[in-house]
Structure 1
């Protein structure tokens, strides 16, 4: 089957599957983000000029194949590209590959690459280079992020310079989503041969994107210059050819009020992660525009390690889940700008399980009963529950590089309510990225607050719920049922079968409270009205690169 001919794909589906597929396509159309109607006065693209972003987080790593930091992706996309793209309807589009076919048994993908793509160092893109990148993802010693999305990858063969034949071990419905991910971006041979992790944006980090790094000041900013020879934008792009902007700069401004102030004062042209209380400065205000992105990735959530006491007791986890009024906290902090979550998948995803809405949370009496049953019946002088002289404490280790959107403030609010309502001490600790990496390696992490930004839930679920993922690596003792369900969700492209398995995963992890979804985050962007072409990349749930952006002089 080919990606261009949905009718061929549909011949493999039942009538019921077709009905679900149609519903999924309609749901997918809602994922492109929204903006103030008519807010931008930049109606006609203009070539030239420069734009400065104010961004909330400095990337820890600029290597697309290693970065796990969602806020880094819009920056990295300026120089790093994937074989295929994904548009707002959920369809995969050409990018570095101009077409592809899938065998009837869904195990062989044949990609036809464009013949005009070059890396920024002048090296032509070939199928052999793509093969080398893909083989590295799955190498025995690989620590690259794409390895989990390529778990079905068996081998690939470059039959000529523009043809890559990929063979999978078994069908994998999420494989194209993995190919489209930023973790599967293609790096130049010079990068693959370089030593180290390539996390700094030096000359060794070479991609095919529309920009190259012009200047980088650690802790301050990074600037990009456009490539005049670029002409292979993804199929979902708003134009083709070189970028409109001559240069673009991303300034690292971690304080939300500083970003808003910089935009108001004209010191920057665009900001992301607009603070809730600053929305009124830009939304429906002359001279500015305000945009929100899609919500198809995971909720901001608490992933709870089921092997670490006292959270190894399901009653304790369920008490934590139900021991506070989540709706009130979300409404109070975010003032209606985000939705409280019930499921691990965002409501803009066609695989969102609506049946979970209203089924859990804010049951303080029930939570207290569960803790009594679990033996936490004592109280210490601070009012916390105890058992055998030990305080009921669950540690939350929140890696500092991933803190954004005032999520640490939300966790402190939850901590206060859990103490007041059920006597549980939620010990929220902001830790270093290195400390979290060590905890992952030793499997001693306790509670990990996070989101993941991919549109296909099979990839999400594999990463955080299965023994193939980064949280429960090789821990089949606590993931066996989920391993099977996630594998089932990937075993066919039939959307009916996929949704049944994915719904079961969502219900399971919320039911036993190993996963507590809190709210569905959306990226917010504000800009001068003279800036045009701002968009979101659906596969990432984040702002797109600056390729389509222009500014009126």
Structure 2
């Protein structure tokens, strides 16, 4: 009997020890929440940032990469040399790298990826970034040579973007639905309307990065209340971009969840069709800018979270100038300028506003402000991304719209022709050409400052505010980026605290 009792106690002790060990073992799975589900999973063929937020640095990698401080770092290219005239880039590629399907990465694959991005039939969202490349040479499997038509001072930075991801030739056509890359995670499954599942890549080339997650899921929840409920219930471990600033206070006192406020590149601007009356008159655009009280916009649209901007640039970017004082809020001056432009009684127009909360709320605040100067703005909710991309981005069929431009250092979009603003200014375009012609950081910053000033004065768009990165996640989750120099959810260093 004593033996039996002793055996029973030993069994209980064993069970307790087993449970303690299980509890002590760190988790190796994470569920990350996102507000917007991507329409596809190939960042090299479509622009929406949600694609890269799932795949960039998780599934796909580039010749270079952008780190969490916004700096260019080597990746599939371990080093490079630039000729004195800035026209030849010679990359030494990493050896021993394989794609998730077992195909080896080499210079021919890198050449294929860049040729695919810059080709005549390319749909790459940043195709213009490859326009400076004249020829591509592959003298051996580990050497790639890019010969340029003219200097491209930002080329190494551009090569780190999601749109510059290196893809495997045979699987490239299917990357929209079954992405294959070289990254630390492999694609497992996409349950449309619900989530994307990833699993650790056991053959990941970078042995210096101890990937601690075995699995990761990106779960798509558009409703802010549902986002908050999922976090509080533990159904979602992290929401790196929580979509409801008005609910941030509801997490106060929660011992499990932590709130992190960081920086982003999300520039909220109300773009105008610069070739459509009355927005073709610069005085009208300037008047509308003076009708806007940015502080009130930020409070009404994003619960006071945000930084006002006076041009298409963020305080994180090199060469930033605070130009919010160029056309500060002054309803009286705005009305006078409208009258000078021939609209003493104002005018009526429509804003095509995506369904996202920030766009809807900002539109409502602007609507009230414009009414103060006699301008009537009707709000037309436009489904994002499909309808907005078709009507605004591609067809430029709109008066005014509002969107958060997420790409870093994208002031060059005003030099694109065509682009949905329909803004054309040769002096501005020349400045952007000069930026690329020099690799001197100080000179580039000076030129970027001049470009910002031109936009602040011309007002091709109403420059409103930069959205912060409002992250809410389990306090034991470590390694998520607190700031966002590039839209992403990089999981490489993410782990649970032991």
Higher mean C-alpha deviation, range 83-92 or range 340-349: 83-92
Which residue of 228, 244, 263 maps to 1:294?
Answer: 263
Gaps of at least 5 residues in structure 2 are 1-23
Equivalent residue, structure 1, for 2:28: 49
Which residue of 441, 447, 471 maps to 2:400?
Answer: 447
Whole-Å Cα distance in 2 between the matches of residues 47 and 129 of structure 1? Answer: 38
Secondary structure of 1:159's counterpart equals strand
Cα 1:130–1:431 shift into 2, 3 Å:
same
Query: How do 1:513-552 and structure 2 match up within 5 A?
Result: 513-535=459-481, 539-540=485-486, 542-552=487-497
Whole-Å Cα distance in 2 between the matches of residues 140 and 537 of structure 1? Answer: 36
Whole-Å Cα distance in 1 between the matches of residues 30 and 248 of structure 2? Answer: 21
Whole-Å Cα distance in 2 between the matches of residues 178 and 480 of structure 1? Answer: 24
Secondary structure of 1:471's counterpart equals coil
Q: How many residues align?
A: 471
Cα 1:228–1:216 shift into 2, 3 Å:
same
| Pairwise CA distance, 1:110 | 1.0
Whole-Å Cα distance in 1 between the matches of residues 451 and 187 of structure 2? Answer: 42
Query: How do 1:150-299 and structure 2 match up within 5 A?
Result: 150-192=130-172, 194=173, 198-199=175-176, 201-202=177-178, 205-232=179-206, 240-241=209-210, 243-274=211-242, 275-282=244-251, 285-295=254-264, 297=265, 299=267
Whole-Å Cα distance in 2 between the matches of residues 46 and 139 of structure 1? Answer: 50
Task: Determine if contact 1:145/1:183 at 8 Å carries over to the other structure.
Answer: yes
Task: Determine if contact 2:28/2:215 at 8 Å carries over to the other structure.
Answer: yes
1:201-226 CA-to-partner distances (Å, cap 9, x unmatched) read 22xx3111111222211111111111
Equivalent residue, structure 2, for 1:340: 308
Which residue of 312, 326, 348 maps to 1:359?
Answer: 326
Equivalent residue, structure 2, for 1:465: 414
| Pairwise CA distance, 1:311 | 0.8
Higher mean C-alpha deviation, range 429-438 or range 132-141: 429-438
| Pairwise CA distance, 1:284 | 7.0
Whole-Å Cα distance in 2 between the matches of residues 249 and 434 of structure 1? Answer: 24
Equivalent residue, structure 2, for 1:66: 45
Task: Determine if contact 2:62/2:166 at 8 Å carries over to the other structure.
Answer: yes
Cα 1:118–1:51 shift into 2, 3 Å:
same
Task: Determine if contact 1:293/1:543 at 8 Å carries over to the other structure.
Answer: no
Whole-Å Cα distance in 2 between the matches of residues 103 and 539 of structure 1? Answer: 28
Whole-Å Cα distance in 2 between the matches of residues 493 and 537 of structure 1? Answer: 26
1:73-111 CA-to-partner distances (Å, cap 9, x unmatched) read 221122111111123454321111111111111111111
Cα 1:70–1:157 shift into 2, 3 Å:
same
Cα 1:551–1:175 shift into 2, 3 Å:
same
Whole-Å Cα distance in 1 between the matches of residues 263 and 152 of structure 2? Answer: 25
Higher mean C-alpha deviation, range 297-306 or range 214-223: 297-306
Cα 1:260–1:122 shift into 2, 3 Å:
same
Task: Determine if contact 1:396/1:429 at 8 Å carries over to the other structure.
Answer: yes
Task: Determine if contact 1:271/1:525 at 8 Å carries over to the other structure.
Answer: yes
Cα 1:93–1:362 shift into 2, 3 Å:
same
Whole-Å Cα distance in 2 between the matches of residues 175 and 99 of structure 1? Answer: 14
Largest Rg, 1 or 2: 2
Cα 1:127–1:284 shift into 2, 3 Å:
farther
Task: Determine if contact 2:469/2:483 at 8 Å carries over to the other structure.
Answer: no
1:238-266 CA-to-partner distances (Å, cap 9, x unmatched) read x614x211111111111112111111111
Equivalent residue, structure 1, for 2:348: 393
Gaps of at least 5 residues in structure 1 are 1-44, 234-238, 379-384, 386-391
Cα 1:361–1:484 shift into 2, 3 Å:
same
Cα 1:447–1:177 shift into 2, 3 Å:
farther
Equivalent residue, structure 1, for 2:10: none
| Pairwise CA distance, 1:339 | 1.2
Whole-Å Cα distance in 2 between the matches of residues 468 and 115 of structure 1? Answer: 40
Secondary structure of 2:120's counterpart equals coil
| Pairwise CA distance, 1:309 | 1.4
Kindly indicate whether residue 335 of structure 2 is the aligned counterpart of residue 368 of structure 1: yes
Equivalent residue, structure 2, for 1:30: none
Equivalent residue, structure 2, for 1:408: 360
Secondary structure of 1:510's counterpart equals helix
Using structure 2 for the length normalisation, give the TM-score: 0.88
Whole-Å Cα distance in 1 between the matches of residues 250 and 352 of structure 2? Answer: 34
Cα 1:538–1:260 shift into 2, 3 Å:
closer
Higher mean C-alpha deviation, range 437-446 or range 483-492: 437-446
Cα 1:535–1:284 shift into 2, 3 Å:
farther
Kindly indicate whether residue 25 of structure 2 is the aligned counterpart of residue 76 of structure 1: no
RMSD: 2.4
1:411-467 CA-to-partner distances (Å, cap 9, x unmatched) read 111112211x11212233222444434444444343342333344x3xx122x2013
Using structure 1 for the length normalisation, give the TM-score: 0.80
Secondary structure of 2:368's counterpart equals helix
